[in-house]
Amino acid sequence: MNKARQADQTINAWRILPRLAWKGIVKNGTVYYPYLGAGIVSVFIYFVFSSILHNDIIAILPKSAYAWIFLFLGRVLLGIILIPFLFYTNSFLIKKRKKEIGLYNILGLEKKHIGTMMFVESAITYLAAVAAGIICGVVLSKLLFLLLLRMTGLPIDVEFTFSLSAFGETAMFFLGVYALNFLSNLIQVGRARPSELLSGVKRGEKEPKLLWVWAAVGIAALGAGYWKAVSSEADSMIFINFLSAVFLVVVGTYFLFTSGSIAYLKLLKKKKGFYYRPSNFITVSGMLYRMKKSAASLVNICIFSTMTMITLVCTLSLYSGLDGMMDFSFPFDVDVFWRKMQMQEGDEEIKARQLEEKYGVKIENYLTYERIALRCGQDGNEFGTAYDTSVKRTYPGGNYDINLLLLEDYNRVEGREMELKDDEALIFSSGVDFGYDKIVFFGNEFIVKEEPEVFGIAPKSVNNKRGEFFLIVKEEGIREALVQAWAKANGIEDVKGLLEGCYQMVRIDVAGEESAREGFAEEFGDWCRDRPGCARFENNLDWRSDWKAMYGGLLFIGILFSIIFMMCLVLIMYYKQIAEGYEDQDAFAIMQKVGMSDEEIKGTIHKQILMVFFVPVIGAVMHTCAGLVMVSKLFAVLGFFETGLLVGCGAAVIVVFAVFYGGSYVVSAGTYYKIVSR
């Protein structure tokens, strides 16, 4: 009889578990619904990446390799970000549920029943997130695919198809994520006693040891990160310096918030006149109670705020400045390098004019000039042997290409009638100005008659750290003497070969329909390559389309990652206030009982939330400003020199982010107040 009753009780228990799981989700909507929303957005973006990657069209479109590579790397990074983020948000959820689960345990549910209930909750959350996320992906993937094509300059009149692999990969990835969260929850609940579950949500954090030491470490790390960001040069070490600066800033932020903030609160506590006021007492003591956990949340808010702003600034700046980047790197549509001694001068212009008529385009710029390029090192106004670790003498100015041109060609290109003496020269830099009155080129001295601000064959930017020099001399005999001096210093005996390697440059700009321009450049290139003396032909229209595809894919990923970072930031802030609201309920109830008014409670709440919310965002703005210095140097390596545009985008993003952040503060403060005033 007893066995039958126990069997019936077991059956009834298993029957009510799914109902308890569903009610647990509904009753705890304040923590479950944001978690579910985060899952839906995460599934949606991951599915979009997978759908585009597995689309047959992206593999066969011209120039699509760059977009595919960036999408693939983006999906890998997305997975790296989403796993800890969803695990982190799940930790808030299970912390809120511990009291309820402990009560179930006391009322008679065994751990295996509780485990089953939690499994059902996890299964419902997983299925809802994956189903809703994939449905949104199916609806919007084609639109986002067309956006990607437009941003990368790829043809948009193509058909978008879905792949079963995208569905399967998305479902399996998030199955692993939600299974990890379920196992974590199961371990936490399984190891805890009912009394620990009932009180777990109220357990304070231990105070970190060696507060002032770690606070000093945080200040030192943050200062080192800022110094590296500001002082790094746009050289081969720029990417390594960028990563090390990011690491130092993250470490410094962590120690400042976890130790420095607590040390600061303890200083406030020692100020009796400040501390023993009702609102200040509640604010300071409440923040000290949470200590390490609260500080860790502030670190995450600060870091995600910085990531959001930096990503948005980079995305907007690159998108707005892409045309300028391409104009600077590829100022002409076509570049032809002819060997001076072998070319049949004049034939190339005749052919270009024939193709101009054939394709219905207009040649807007046709330049031709002789050029000998030599690699030199610079030390002040002196040019000498290029930097070499095996040579004792180095040139701190770095290595540069020095283009030796004749005055005749300069006057023709610029439409001038400049005259030079034998010991005079013109010098133009596509980067920072040369800035000296005299040039010493391997022992040959020249007076700088003029340093032009512009030169028709090369754009100029003072932010161009890889600039080159154009040295214009009076006649060919002087140029030959400079080549001989360079060859002698570099141990080269074949001076005649160097002189015969002089290039006759032909550079052309054409205007017209894009397809006609491409046809002109392609046919002209085929003709030039078959001619004697053609050393190299560069179709810069192809290079431009490659760059647009490459940076367009990067910009597309930047937009999606900005959405992810914003979602992470909002949820971290929301869960922080929800968790702390439930923790503070009893404390505020006691304060109400001893006579604290609603207005005083509201004032205390706003003061605490203001302190908690705006300290991280102030830190994030500081990180962003320091980061933009290094971003400008990274962009310079990529050919982006519009510092004003970068600063303008940075200011706009900070203002918009501050408005958004302020709105989040208002919503969170309202939610927090509703919880503590119940």
The structure tokens 């002032």 sit at 212
The structure tokens 């081969």 sit at 236
**DSSP run (H or E) holding 440:** strand 438-441
**DSSP code for 384:** E
Judged by average pLDDT, the poorest of 43-52, 254-263, 575-584 is: 575-584
Residue 235 CA to residue 70 CA, distance in Å, equals 24
User: Which of 521, 589, 168 shows the shortest CA–CA distance to 355?
Assistant: 521
- Give 487-527 pLDDT, tens digit per residue: 888 888 777 767 766 888 899 999 999 889 989 999 999 99
Confidence band, pLDDT 50/70/90 cuts, at residue 49: confident
Provide CB contacts within 8 A for 376, sequence distance 6+: 383, 384, 385, 386, 395, 399, 400, 401, 402, 441, 442, 486
Residue 465 CA to residue 455 CA, distance in Å, equals 18
Look at residue 283 and tell me whether its pLDDT is greater than 80. Answer: no
- Measured from the Cβ of residue 457, the count of other Cβ atoms closer than 10 Å reads 21
Please state the length of the chain.
678
Judged by average pLDDT, the poorest of 396-400, 420-424, 593-597 is: 396-400
Residue type, 321: G
Q: Are 301 and 569 in contact (CB under 8 A)?
A: yes
Question: Which is higher by pLDDT, 255 or 589?
Answer: 255
Q: Are 505 and 368 in contact (CB under 8 A)?
A: yes
User: Which of 676, 673, 674, 675 shows the shortest CA–CA distance to 587?
Assistant: 676
Where are the chain's structural domains? 1-203, 217-331+538-678, 368-506
The residue-averaged pLDDT of 225-238 equals 76
The structure tokens 């004003």 sit at 644
Q: Helix or strand or coil: residue 366?
A: strand
DSSP for 75-119, written as a single string: HHHHHHHHHHHHHHHHHHHHHHHHHHHHHHHHTT--HHHHHHHHH
Composition of the chain by helix, strand, coil, percent to 5:
70, 10, 20
Residue type, 257: F
* CA torsion, ordered 563, 568, 569, 575, to nearest 10 deg: 140
- Give 157-177 pLDDT, tens digit per residue: 556 666 788 888 889 999 999
The residue-averaged pLDDT of 611-637 equals 83
Name beta bridge partners: 438.
447
State residue 391's pLDDT score.
45
Confidence band, pLDDT 50/70/90 cuts, at residue 60: low
Confidence band, pLDDT 50/70/90 cuts, at residue 428: very high
Look at residue 426 and tell me whether its pLDDT is greater than 90. Answer: yes
State residue 271's pLDDT score.
73
Look at residue 439 and tell me whether its pLDDT is greater than 90. Answer: yes
Confidence band, pLDDT 50/70/90 cuts, at residue 437: very high
User: Which of 546, 651, 673 shows the shortest CA–CA distance to 598?
Assistant: 673
Residue 407 CA to residue 472 CA, distance in Å, equals 6
The residue-averaged pLDDT of 378-400 equals 63
User: Which of 255, 253, 281 shows the shortest CA–CA distance to 268?
Assistant: 281
Burial grade of 507 (CB within 10 A; 0-12, 13-18, 19 or more)? buried
Provide CB contacts within 8 A for 590, sequence distance 6+: none
Look at residue 63 and tell me whether its pLDDT is greater than 60. Answer: no
User: Which of 556, 528, 454, 520 shows the shortest CA–CA distance to 152?
Assistant: 556
Name beta bridge partners: 455.
458
- Give 8-31 pLDDT, tens digit per residue: 445 555 567 677 777 777 777 777
State residue 591's pLDDT score.
64
**DSSP code for 455:** B
Task: Please give the structure tokens belonging to residue 382.
Answer: 């002196």
**DSSP code for 344:** -
- Give 532-569 pLDDT, tens digit per residue: 888 889 998 888 887 777 777 777 777 777 777 777 77
Task: Please give the structure tokens belonging to residue 611.
Answer: 């302190």
Residue 620 CA to residue 409 CA, distance in Å, equals 53
CA angle 658, 662, 664 (to 5 degrees): 120
Judged by average pLDDT, the poorest of 111-125, 215-229, 594-608 is: 594-608
Which 3-state string (H, E, C) describes 419-472? Answer: CCCCCEEEEEECCCCCCCCEEEECCEEEEEEECCCCECCECCCCCCCCCCEEEE
- Give 89-135 pLDDT, tens digit per residue: 787 777 777 777 777 777 666 777 777 888 888 888 899 999 998 88
State residue 394's pLDDT score.
44
User: Which of 326, 330, 328, 349 shows the shortest CA–CA distance to 338?
Assistant: 349
Name beta bridge partners: 370.
504
Q: Are 71 and 49 in contact (CB under 8 A)?
A: yes
β-bridge pairing 382-385 and 444-450: unpaired
Residue 251 CA to residue 261 CA, distance in Å, equals 14
The residue-averaged pLDDT of 564-580 equals 73
Q: Are 288 and 265 in contact (CB under 8 A)?
A: yes
Confidence band, pLDDT 50/70/90 cuts, at residue 593: low
Question: Which is higher by pLDDT, 382 or 194?
Answer: 382
Question: Which is higher by pLDDT, 620 or 200?
Answer: 620
β-bridge pairing 399-406 and 469-473: parallel
**DSSP code for 277:** S
Look at residue 152 and tell me whether its pLDDT is greater than 80. Answer: no
Judged by average pLDDT, the poorest of 129-138, 295-304, 311-320 is: 295-304
The residue-averaged pLDDT of 641-668 equals 85
Provide CB contacts within 8 A for 228, sequence distance 6+: 241, 244, 245, 248, 630
Look at residue 479 and tell me whether its pLDDT is greater than 80. Answer: yes
Residue 172 CA to residue 123 CA, distance in Å, equals 13
Residue 260 CA to residue 299 CA, distance in Å, equals 12
User: Which of 51, 120, 41 shows the shortest CA–CA distance to 82?
Assistant: 41
State residue 609's pLDDT score.
65
User: Which of 404, 405, 400, 376 shows the shortest CA–CA distance to 467?
Assistant: 400
The structure tokens 């300059």 sit at 153
Judged by average pLDDT, the poorest of 146-150, 161-165, 414-418, 447-451 is: 146-150
